[in-house]
């Protein structure tokens, strides 16, 4: 069992005990959940590294430190979305959690694709900040907080223009 699977199992035992007990094949479920987390962490880490590792960062220690920071951020983001779900819901039914997990997985993947597309469009000049919706900008800023500085604006400037970000 992977470390992500073990962490998920520990979290669910503590915070979702009824759901955990009702899983039909807990070992398989947690192994799949761990694999899903690993895949998403790897994808998100690659995206963040592509965005944040610029050619001007030539110092090995700085690059290694940034990569570690990006890995921890990716792990936190994915764990929050896929593992650390709200504590026990009264609606949990036996056998329903794998379906709920697939829904969370699909939602996470969709958000990640939207964030990537918005960031790339803005950085490539295919869209301007004024053309992006407030929701798109908010999601993009979750993945890349310094995006507005790169684009020559700030939250304060956008809020002064009436944007709800």
Percentage of the residues of the chain whose pLDDT score is greater than 90: 30
User: Do 112 and 44 meet the contact criterion of CB atoms below 8 Å apart?
Assistant: yes
pLDDT at 97 over 70: no
Residue 26 CA to residue 63 CA, distance in Å, equals 39
CA distances, 148 to each of 12, 77, 122, 143 (Å): 37, 20, 10, 12
Co-location of 62 and 141 in the same domain: no
Co-location of 65 and 134 in the same domain: no
**What pLDDT is stored for residue 102 in this prediction?**
79
**What pLDDT is stored for residue 91 in this prediction?**
46
Tens of pLDDT, residue by residue over 102-149, are 788 888 888 888 888 888 888 778 888 889 898 888 888 776 666 777
Q: Which domain holds residue 48?
A: 1-84
**What pLDDT is stored for residue 153 in this prediction?**
82
Within-domain flag for 30: yes
Of 50, 84, 118, the one marking the end of a domain is 84
What's the number of domains the chain is made of? 2
Co-location of 104 and 165 in the same domain: yes
Lowest-confidence region among 26-30, 40-44, 66-70 = 66-70
* Residue 9 exposed, middle or buried by CB count within 10 Å (0-12, 13-18, 19+): buried
Within-domain flag for 11: yes
């Amino acid at each position: 069992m992977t470390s992500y699977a073990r962490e998920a199992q520990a979290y669910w035992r503590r915070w979702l005990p009824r759901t955990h007990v009702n899983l039909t094949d807990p070992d398989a479920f947690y192994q799949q959940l761990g694999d899903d987390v690993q895949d998403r962490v790897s994808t998100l880490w690659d995206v963040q590294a592509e965005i944040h590792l610029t050619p001007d960062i030539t110092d090995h220690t700085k690059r290694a430190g940034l990569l570690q920071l990006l890995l921890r951020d990716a792990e936190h983001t994915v764990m929050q979305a896929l593992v650390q779900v709200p504590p026990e819901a009264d609606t949990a039914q036996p056998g329903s959690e794998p379906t709920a997990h697939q829904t969370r997985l699909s939602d996470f993947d969709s958000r990640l694709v939207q964030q990537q597309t918005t960031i790339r469009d803005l950085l490539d000049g295919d869209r301007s900040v004024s053309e992006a919706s407030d929701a798109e900008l908010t999601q993009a800023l979750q993945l890349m907080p310094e995006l507005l500085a790169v684009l020559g604006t700030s939250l304060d400037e956008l809020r002064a223009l009436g944007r709800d970000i």
